[in-house]
Amino acid sequence: MRVLLIEDDPMIGQGLSKALAVEGMSVDWVRNGADASGALADGAHSIILLDLGLPDAEGFDLLKAARRNGLNAPVLVITARDGLDDRVSGLDIGADDYLVKPFELRELLARMRAVLRRHQGRATSRIISGESELDPETHELSHRNIVQVLPAREYALMHALMERPGRILSRAQIEERIYGWGEEVESNAVDVLIHSIRQKFGKDIVFNVRGAGWMSPKSRS
């Protein structure tokens, strides 16, 4: 899952980028309004973490413009502003949640899961696809009678496939979802990840559609 982090504080930005990467997320970090506007327009991210106090822009203005231009991804505001008016304004403008700094990573992750769950219309954070079930909190994947905790990159790949069961993702689409800006991606990186997952759970956990890409089976009815 790709996350857009809009945060000008270098300590917070570096800390969150590293922490979210450990959780299997690919983080694109921008530090000013100009770069944020371009990244928001790109539309490649599953969720946006937005600080309000940027050096050259007001976070609320960025959010209003992005929603006006059709941004559909969920936005979680992370800010030191704790006033009621700011919280109400943020939610009314188009934020999906509002978290005041300082905060614990566990709470941020829980709020991200909740926002994504609501956005995708699911009652729980667990993702079910065919005979597979993925837990975003623990990174535990169960398939038939096999249960394992996935490494970060394998988790990111299965998350990308399972949140859209039955939909084929090309190599480029998978790479876009699990790798961030500037990351060097080997030409066979996706193949290596899928091979490792199949070694653990069996070949039918991920279907190959020749010439098109890969897919996860549709959810049980």
pLDDT in tens, 192-208: 999 999 999 999 999 99
Contact assessment for residue 155 and residue 139, using Cβ atoms and an 8 Å cutoff: yes
The residue among 85, 120, 155 that closes a domain is: 120
Q: Where is the domain boundary, 120, 143, 162?
A: 120
- The range of the structural domain enclosing residue 169 comes to 127-215
Whether residue 148 is predicted with pLDDT greater than 90 in this model: the reply is yes
Global confidence as pTM: 0.78
Claim to verify: residue 106 and residue 144 sit in the same structural domain: no
Q: How confident is the model at residue 219 (pLDDT cuts 50, 70, 90)?
A: low
Q: What is the CATH number of the domain that holds 137?
A: 1.10.10.10
Q: Does residue 150 fall inside a structural domain? A: yes
In a domain, 108, yes or no: yes
**Other C-beta atoms within 10 Å of 88: how many?**
11
* Judgement on whether residues 155 and 88 belong to the same structural domain of the protein: no
Measured CA to CA, the distance from residue 121 to residue 115 in angstroms comes to 10
The verdict on 59 and 74 lying in the same domain is yes
95/72 Cα distance (integer angstroms): 11
pLDDT band of 221, cuts 50, 70, 90: very low
